[in-house]
Amino acid sequence: MPLFALFLAAFGIGTGEFVIAGLLPDVSRDLGVTIPVAGYLITAYALGIAIGGPLTAVALRRLERRTALLLIVLTFTLGQALCALAPGFAVLLVIRFLIAFAHGAYFGVAAVVATRLVPPERRGSAVALLLAGITVANILGVPAGTAIGNIFGWRATFWAVGGLSLLSLAVIAAFVPKAAADEAAAPDFRSELRVLTRQPVYLSFALIIVAIIGQFALFSYIAPLLISVTGIAESNVPWLLLVVGLGSTIGVLLGGRLADWKLMPTLIGMLVLQAVVYALLGFFIRSPWFVAPLLLVWGGACFAFGAPAQTRVLRWAADAPNFVSSLIPTAFNIGIALGATIGSIVLDEGLGYAALPWIGVVVVLASLLVALLSWRLEQGAEAPAAPQPRST
């Protein structure tokens, strides 16, 4: 139940981040802005995670972990209510930016708690269950939230996410024990910073950022693209988002297993697969029968890439992982913010939604070059060993 509590909160928070992509047409109509401008709701949220997440995690690092979790989830819950009540676009944009601080901090704190809830040999599974909340959010939360928005209006979706977060707050309070969440000794922050100078760490962050640009230049505008270019009825968009979510779940599970087998070949293979899928989407974006299976593979390839990318960072930061691990969501969300912004610029320049998959082709090939360079530079070096846990 403690792990389920962490999973449930991750599910609600993941839904709150990604569901806006399915609501952009409704939000733009109701608040009187264009869809590219509405897309800045995604950019602002991603920047909030990237900037505010590490800052919030550092601010809370001496607070008892269960208390920190409750404070974070409560803040996120109240933020969803404020989004639902936002009188205009500017207010909604600012609120989304601020509540993303809680999102960014949650996964760093929750990962520490999850690893303390289980024996050492099960820590990977505990963190995987936590991260599965995001993929399940893409399968269930995003399509359901989009459907709620289509039927009752986009504000109802924020109320629904807030209600789910409130439920997870109660479950965390009831089942996450203080003893399992006690803080270890404060780390040497200078040692944490020195980890960032290691080539596999900083180049892994670089390839994450570049690859995610392509994913979110497309995903940020997936709903209007499917409606206006592919010819999908707006009521059917949640079903295609469900397809993406199914692919994402398959991908995250497969990517984790393959990363344990062959880390860098898996990472590079997923980037190659992404480039191929983006190109096929570019050619067949006007055909619903081709787009649906391609979205399944695309979701799988994107999320399968995430597991080896994060594993590589943590492997090369094993001796001082705390600050570096908090920067992993930052790297992903810098890519999300840049992707949404670049997509908006492309649309404002009149190139149209059909151009978005080609952004993916270009940036994923660039990310592939970074990965190959980093792997070559890594040859012959040994990753640091993780410190042995203290006895209690």
How many Å separate Cα 51 from the centre of its chain? 14
- The two tokens of residue 270 are 């997923």
Give Rg (Cα) of the chain. Answer: 20
Write out pLDDT tens, residues 300-335.
898 888 778 877 887 787 676 667 777 877 888 788
Residue 369 pLDDT greater than 90, yes or no: yes
How many Å separate Cα 134 from the centre of its chain? 7
Domain range summary for the chain, segments of one domain joined by +: 1-176, 193-378
Structure-model confidence comparison of residues 382 and 222, the more confident one = 222
DSSP codes of every residue in 204-229: HHHHHHHHHHHHHHHHTTHHHHIIII
Q: How far apart are CA 222 and CA 189, in angstroms?
A: 41
Write out pLDDT tens, residues 241-258.
888 878 887 887 787 777
Q: How far apart are CA 295 and CA 287, in angstroms?
A: 12
Q: Find tokens 């040999």 and name the residue.
A: 121
Q: What is the pLDDT of residue 181?
A: 41
Lowest mean pLDDT among 95-104, 122-131, 192-201, 293-302: 122-131
Q: What is the pLDDT of residue 121?
A: 52
Domain 1-176 identical in fold to domain 193-378: yes
Q: What is the pLDDT of residue 311?
A: 76
Q: How far apart are CA 3 and CA 168, in angstroms?
A: 11
Domain 193-378 has CATH 1.20.1250.20: yes
Backbone φ, ψ for residue 277 (5° rounding):
-65, -40
Lowest mean pLDDT among 49-63, 166-180, 186-200, 356-370: 186-200
What's the helix, strand, coil split of the chain in %, to 5? Answer: 85, 0, 15
Question: pLDDT above 70 covers what percent of the chain?
Answer: 89
Determine the topology of domain 1-176 in CATH. Growth Hormone; Chain: A; (1.20.1250)
